[in-house]
Amino acid sequence: MDAGFKVTFTTVPGLAESDVDAETVFIQIQSKPVFAAADAVKVVWRGWLTCVNGDPEYLRSLPADFVSLPLFFTNGPESLTTLVKSWFGRTFDANFGSLPLNSSTLNWLAALWTGCHPTCNIRYLKLAWRLQSQPVLDISYTVNPQDAWELWNSIHTPESADDQIGEKEVQAFMNGLETHFFRHFKIHLSAGRLLTVSTSLGSAHHDGKIKIGNSEYITTLLTLLTEYALFKMPT
């Protein structure tokens, strides 16, 4: 309070998908401007801790009073993010680390967001690769959303079990995009590293920066990231 901040913690029911998932915790920091009215406050930072469809075997192996929330999302100044992390570390012995996204995860997100196009126009599909040539080659590849969806639709058929996305389907989708690029520019994108995937629904960077711009398939997205975060947990 001495710094003029007010912090609220709220549980968000409804995101937990199983009985072993902990409820999501939403954190909000408000600041009162110096010359503002008495009741005027400004939200300066938001964050949330969540676990969606976490591995039941792993979660049940934890002590009964241990709460596992492997994903931490933030929106606000890095200085406040650092303060929040420090407070959680002192109060709950929590540990925070980065979650770099590998190419497989980025491929999966490209397919997931492309599949949303018929229900919410993704407007574009942008991908960026880096090839370790001499000199280093950075390639930005923008695909027409309808063309991308037609490719995906030819691979991911309605008969797919429970409308889930399979690893082979994702690989076939990316192979199709890379083959089209090679046909025009004679460059093998598979020889490089996929760095970024973005659409109007969201974007993801290999260093772990993710922006979510639409709630479509949010549960599926959080399930993927929860699985990946638990996999990266130190043993």
pLDDT, tens only, 169-205: 999 999 999 999 999 999 999 999 999 999 999 999 9
201 and 123 in contact (C-beta within 8 Å)?
Answer: no
- Is 222 found in the same domain as 138? yes
Residue 113 and residue 70 share a domain? no
pTM given for the model: 0.85
Bridge partners for 197 per DSSP = 127, 204
In angstroms, rounded to a whole number, what is the distance separating the alpha carbons of residues 172 and 169? 5
* Structural domain boundaries enclosing 134: 103-232
Q: What is the pLDDT of residue 146?
A: 95
Q: Is residue 40 one of the residues assigned to a domain?
A: yes
- Contacts of residue 42, defined as CB under 8 A and 6 or more positions apart, other chains included, come to 30, 31, 32, 33, 36
Question: Is residue 98 in a domain?
Answer: no
97 in a structural domain: no
Q: Which two tokens stand for residue 20?
A: 């072993």
Q: Give yes or no: residues 37 and 121 share one domain.
A: no
Name residue 73's beta-bridge partners. Answer: 48
Specify the pLDDT at position 181: 96
- Specify if 151 maps to a domain: yes
pLDDT surpassing 80 at residue 116: yes
Kindly state whether residue 186 falls inside one of the protein's structural domains: yes
The residues pairing with 30 across neighbouring beta strands, listed in sequence order, are 6, 43
Poorest-confidence range of 1-15, 88-102, 152-166, 167-181? 152-166
Question: Is residue 127 domain-resident?
Answer: yes
The number of domains in the chain is: 2
SS3 of 6, please? strand
- Name the 3-class secondary structure at 33: coil
Query: Are 144 and 226 contained in the same domain?
Result: yes
221 and 110 co-located in one domain = yes
